[in-house]
A and B are shown apart, each in its own frame.
Chain A
Amino acid sequence: EAQVTQNPRYLITVTGKKLTVTCSQNMNHEYMSWYRQDPGLGLRQIYYSMNVEVTDKGDVPEGYKVSRKEKRNFPLILESPSPNQTSLYFCASSLVAGGSYNEQFFGPGTRLTVL
């Protein structure tokens, strides 16, 4: 089944404790992205990757890191989480082809709480 998976789905942690949220897609997509969703603010893009070893900042990259060493994986790293990073996080992927605006496939989400 074609899908985007994220782990963990739920995480409660404390300020300053490094964490990684994994994202994996099995559709051979070139484009991957991370979003956070907060009440009243909609979805905001954190980082995106056009392909392996190519990443770029989105709207709200502060406090986050990403890497794209393999095509299928795009982990989100919080080196020193803070309470303002408490949010619902979504990973997405898309097959980049041509010039049209491609359909993105979203993962199930990771609900992160930083105490």
Chain B
Amino acid sequence: LAKTTQPISMDSYEGQEVNITCSHNNIATNDYITWYQQFPSQGPRFIIQGYKTKVTNEVASLFIPADRKSSTLSLPRVSLSDTAVYYCLVGAGLNAGNMLTFGGGTRLMVKP
């Protein structure tokens, strides 16, 4: 399993764009990159998933460079409600029999 490294914490202000980078130097060819969001005392919630280049949905964008050794989750114009822990996961798919490993995550604090 590819190990991931993320900053432990980040601070931001309302209305700013937040970029959280995850390093995964030993990512395998068939691995995907997935990000989850977790609020206190709740289960994680899927945000976005990608394999290469750029993926965008209604809540975030995911940028993956050509070498795929890192990825950046971009949250546009954050609000106080985006204060949460964000996890980066790398894996080849559940039907590949891989265990799913969450790292320590990045604790994002959005200030008014």
Contacts and interface: CB of A to CB of B under 8 A. Distances in A.
A76 to B, nearest CB: 14
Given A42-B103, A104-B100, A90 B91 contact: no
A107 B45 CA distance: 10
A101 B49 contact: yes
A44 interface: yes
A46 B51 CA distance: 27
B63 interface: no
Determine chain B's interface SS by DSSP, over half rule. Answer: loop
A1 interface: no
B93 A42 contact: no
Given A56-B97, A59-B99, A109 B43 contact: yes
Contacts, number: 81
A43 interface: yes
Nearest to A6: B43
Interface bracket on A: 20 to 34
A108 B102 contact: no
B43 A50 contact: no
Contact of A43 (B44, B49, B94): B44
Interface of B: 30-34, 36, 41-46, 49, 51, 87, 89, 91-97, 99-105
